[in-house]
Amino acid sequence: MSSLDVQKAREHFPSLKSGFLFGENAGGSQISQEVIDRLTDYLVNTNVQLGATYHASKVSTSRVFDEAPRLAVKLFNARSPDEIIFGSSSTLNLENLARGLEADISPGDEFIVTGEHEANVGPWKKLALRTGAVVKYWKATPTDESNPYSVSLKKEDLLPLISDRTRIVAFTACSNILGSIVPVKDFVQAIRQDSMTKGAKKVEISVDCVAYAPHRLIDVQDWDVDFAVLSYYKVYGPHISALYVRDSVLKNSVSSIVHHFIDVDKAPSYKLQPGGPGYEITYATTGVVPYLLSLSPANNLRASFDAIARHEQELVQPLLTFLTDKAQWERGVRVVGDSTTHLNRVPTISFVVIGSKPLKSQEVVNVFDESGTIGIRCGNCYAYTLLKDLTPGFDVDDGVVRISLVHYNTVEEVARIIDLLKAVLAV
């Protein structure tokens, strides 16, 4: 197994040359030079309307509707580019998907959702209101008796929610707060088996991969999911999202939400792209896969993500070791989520400071802001319900302190973060 050449990876990101420590990557990663080059190339050479017969338009059309979906397929391991939809954000993509499913939902159908990022929760709640469906909540529950903030999604909490009316199950592949990767394939198998046993007629599964995609390789075929979504701007690309919809579902469950005169039979994925995606940023996404491939001597995505996973453990270990040290525990530091280091733990680490000398999360972040050299954040990070359910009276708006790293961050940068945390927590 090859190791990650972090310094070589950093050379692909012009913004890192400033020396600023980007520690808020779960909110948006930095953009690679490959993506910047394609964005510039499109705007300079093919910035025209699609669908015309002149040469520049033909090239532009191919870039947006052929090249971009073809490379997105590799990030999802989808079967075909026809299963890929582009939209300005993951929230919008899932909102459009919910609109497209509206005619296929009956009153009394049941949706199972989590309290995780609202992108894969809100659209289903609103769809239920429009159609008379019922929403059930699969809540994250404690995993450590000594720390009420250590919670995770569990299969034993999910299965009792499934019934003969289950229609949609929506959950995350990785929490943008807890930092834990869930066993998607195991959950999906359990959902399919249990729903079949209970007589559910049609169950479709939606997985939010936004916090997963920067760290691990998605595999919608192996997982056997119907919908999956990622945000390119958190995977070293531009601000746009890609949505995977299983071909059979796209053809049989989804109704078109585009103009009535557009023939979607030839391209079913266009059913969910009203107005079309932003052309230049859609084409710019084609730089993401080449960048990721550059991280592996074998030019292999699986190898690249394996190297990323191993390097990330080098980032997680010292930070979690510091935050869970006896001295910090006595100070009132509580990690929100999994506090152990392992390959199913990504370097998105959240915590709170409670006890006799509590600190608001914003107070911690203020010290980092004042340094002018490190960027982290606090708040609910759009996982509002998850945090609201943590403990009685939890301040959801102040939320957690979140430090979110990716593979271009270094062990030396983690040391800088820890040094500043020592000063904050000494107060």
**Helix axes 90-101 and 122-131, enclosed angle (nearest 10):** 20
The fold of 40-291 is Aspartate Aminotransferase; domain 2 (3.40.640)
| Parts of the chain belonging to CATH 3.90.1150.10 | 6-30+300-425
pLDDT digits (tens, 9 = 90+) for 346-381: 999 999 999 999 999 999 999 999 999 999 999 999
Q: Give CA–CA dist 82/152, Å, rounded.
A: 34
Rounded average pLDDT over 403-417: 98
Q: Are 240 and 281 in contact (CB under 8 A)?
A: yes
Crossing angle (nearest 10°) for helices 55-62 and 33-45: 150
What mean pLDDT comes out for the span 133-152? 94
- State the average pLDDT over residues 318-329: 97
Give the tens place of pLDDT for each residue, 31-45.
Answer: 999 999 999 999 999
pLDDT band at 303 (very low <50, low <70, confident <90, very high): very high
Half-sphere exposure of 274 (CA within 13 A, CB side): 13
Q: CB burial class (10 A; 0-12, 13-18, 19+) of residue 177?
A: buried
Which candidate, 61, 68, 66, 127, places its Cα nearest to that of 94? 127
> Measured between alpha carbons, how far is residue 357 from residues 305, 319, 427 in Å?
41, 21, 9
What's the Cα-to-Cα distance from 284 to each of 15, 31, 387, rounded to whole Å?
A: 17, 10, 35
The H-or-E segment that residue 389 falls in is none
Q: Tell me, rounded to whole angstroms, the distance of Cα 242 from its chain centroid.
A: 11
| Fold observed for domain 6-30+300-425 | Aspartate Aminotransferase, domain 1 (3.90.1150)
Strands 151-152 and 141-142: antiparallel
Amino acid at 13: F
Residue keyed to tokens 């040469």: 55
pLDDT score for 290: 98
Q: Where in the chain is the domain with CATH 3.40.640.10?
A: 40-291
The enclosing H or E element of 198 equals none
Q: What are phi and psi of 202, to 5 degrees?
A: -150, 120
CA atoms within 13 A on the CB side of 237: 31
**Helix, strand or coil for residue 155?**
helix
Give the whole-angstrom CA distance, residue 282 versus residue 242. Answer: 9
Q: Where residue 138 falls among pLDDT bands split at 50, 70, 90?
A: very high
Residue 1's pLDDT band (boundaries 50, 70, 90)? low
d(CA 66, CA 87): 16
Q: How far apart are CA 116 and CA 175, in angstroms?
A: 7
Are 165 and 198 in contact by the 8 Å Cβ rule? The answer is no
